[in-house]
Amino acid sequence: MTHPARTDAQALQRANALILQWQARVRIGVALVAGGTAILLQYFDLLQGRPISLLVAMAGYVAVIGGLAVTIQHRGVAGNLEIGATVVADLLFIFVSTLASSSPEYFERILILAFFVLHMTESYFGREHASVALLVVIMGYLGMVGVGIERGAQLLWPQEFWSVTLFAIAAGVFIFQYGGFQRRLQNLVTLFHNAEEGDFNTAYDVSADLYPDAITSVGQAYNRVRTQLASMVLSDPLTACLNRRGFDQAVTREIARSARAGSELSLISIDIDHFKSVNDTYGHLAGDVILREVGALFVQTARGADMVARTGGEEFSVLLPDTNALGGYKAALRMCELVRTHRFMLNGKRVQLTVSIGVATASGTDDDPGALSLKQRADEALYAAKRGGRDRARAWNGELASVG
């Protein structure tokens, strides 16, 4: 079985791959426009430096970004290595192109351009990557200033330290304020992934957003529709009971809870006897009326914690938390009696119906069956009830002997 954390990590890497692929086109486009403009300005002596140096920087940057994009497309995933390589390539291009087109007194342009890289990194890949990029910018800038001073450039350490300090403060505040951007986006992705699997148990934690923004609004919208989505995905539209997916989730969840609490849990499988004859005699619309009425009967007789589901054409299941084998069997007998004595009316005529029921129980111990085995046991008991003449309940006990 695939571990949930591993599945989430793979989903994040696939998302990063898609982001880096479309960003590669944007990066290359920006580099060509900016580099081409700088070369044009150098050609007219409006910007210092040699065009060949910028051409080499542009060619190297395009080759690296293009190569990364091809590799990521082939692999379909992108991890920290690919993200880090892309960010380093961005910063190196900024440093090299600035050296190739600006004198030392204009080195501060690096900080301005680097802020855009930090913004993109923070927005799409999160606080950790942006923090590392900030350290690279600071160290790289101070290194360039040191080299420039050694070569006689008219630069003063106090002013340069002040410039890089202001940059670090502004960038740090930005990273801190939006540090949870990627994390909160991933939370939303996880919520929608769970919803795709039919799990609507978790709401978006709006209270955790200290600075509400567009992501918060999306989370609030998800919370508003969560109940409706759960009803659509997990409920049977005909009877309004749980459907098979919803019931399977409930069984898995309740077995885990029962094991933790050491409590017992009973599962009832129900089949309407000779239901095909109802459809053949009265039509499928009349059969739907019967199914709705039977589902309503089971819901009315169930306790508040019990879960009723329509799991097949004329098949129903009932999950009874905190119920031992005898309690489950007695509940099954009551359901048999309830259906047998109920006045089902079709076209002004009373229709006599009965049900066959199988019961299985988990005792809340480590050697209990899993969800699949528990349902199989209830089905085996149901088939035994059918073989025994229908209109009865049977409990699973290894030999399919009735309790009581």
Of the candidate CATH numbers 3.30.200.20, 3.30.470.10, 3.30.70.270, 3.40.50.300, the domain formed by 244-395 belongs to: 3.30.70.270
Dmax of the chain from CA atoms? Answer: 106
Query: Looking at residues 90-102, what average pLDDT do you find?
Result: 92
Is residue 301 scored above 50 in pLDDT?
A: yes
Is residue 403 scored above 60 in pLDDT?
A: no
The residue with greater pLDDT, 233 or 330, is 330
Tell which residue, 71, 72, 67, has the closest CA to residue 13. 72
- Cβ atoms of residues 360 and 267 within 8 Å: yes
Residues whose CB falls within 8 Å of the CB of residue 92, separated by 6 or more in sequence, listed in order: 61
Task: Quote the pLDDT of residue 194.
Answer: 82
Task: Quote the pLDDT of residue 161.
Answer: 94
Is residue 247 scored above 80 in pLDDT?
A: yes
Query: Looking at residues 219-231, what average pLDDT do you find?
Result: 85
Is residue 401 scored above 70 in pLDDT?
A: no
Averaged pLDDT score across all residues of the chain:
89
**What pTM, to 2 d.p., does this model score?**
0.56
Query: Looking at residues 188-194, what average pLDDT do you find?
Result: 86
Query: Looking at residues 240-263, what average pLDDT do you find?
Result: 89
Instruction: Find the radius of gyration of the CA atoms of the chain.
Output: 34
Is residue 185 scored above 50 in pLDDT?
A: yes
Task: Quote the pLDDT of residue 184.
Answer: 84
Q: Tens digit of pLDDT for each residue in 104-159?
A: 888 999 999 999 999 999 888 888 899 999 999 999 999 999 988 998 888 999 99
Domain segments of the chain: what residues?
4-182, 183-234, 244-395
Is residue 2 scored above 60 in pLDDT?
A: no
Lowest model confidence (mean pLDDT) among 130-139, 197-206, 395-404: 395-404
Query: Looking at residues 279-283, what average pLDDT do you find?
Result: 91
Task: Quote the pLDDT of residue 65.
Answer: 96
Query: Looking at residues 222-236, what average pLDDT do you find?
Result: 85
Query: Looking at residues 275-280, what average pLDDT do you find?
Result: 92
Task: Quote the pLDDT of residue 365.
Answer: 66
Strands across the sheet containing 265-272: 307-310, 315-321, 265-272, 355-362, 393-395
Is residue 200 scored above 90 in pLDDT?
A: no
Q: Tens digit of pLDDT for each residue in 7-63?
A: 668 888 999 999 999 999 999 999 999 999 999 998 888 888 888 999 999 999 999
